[in-house]
Amino acid sequence: MNAMQKGLLVCALQCALALSVTAKFAYDRATCPRVWVRVVRRDPELPIRGRYLALTLVPKSGQPYFERLAGQQVVFFVPPEQTAIERTRNADVWAEVTIPRSGPPRPIRLGLRSDVP
């Protein structure tokens, strides 16, 4: 096996790994429950912060999955089209999260709820 074949093999393995993670997340979104929950921003202590928001989930008591979501911290990458959410400080920010069978919740998207006092 020459160097070109080895490089193509490594490339194929990396692509297969990335596609398997994508397939797992797509399967979780299709089969696991998804809920909207209010979030509170916190300042992350990360050396590379970039366009990420660190969020703490704050569900209302008595809601389904309250025990699994209360106090959980998630990191959300803010795409360029949602820069308004990144800059808004006074609005009520909500996140739609997938609740997998095991592991932390996974944020899907953010939304503003400005009609809440």
Q: Are residues 59 and 92 in the same domain?
A: yes
Q: Are residues 22 and 36 in the same domain?
A: no
What would the pLDDT profile of 7-63 be if each residue is shown by its tens digit? Answer: 999 999 999 999 999 999 899 889 999 999 998 887 666 666 667 778 899 998 888
b/e string for 55-79 if b means 16 or more Cβ within 10 A?
bebebeeeeeeeeebeebebebebe
Q: Are residues 10 and 46 in the same domain?
A: no
Q: Are residues 70 and 93 in the same domain?
A: yes
The count of domains in the chain is 2
The residue segments making up the domain with residue 108 are 32-113
Q: Are residues 80 and 40 in the same domain?
A: yes
pTM, entire model: 0.71
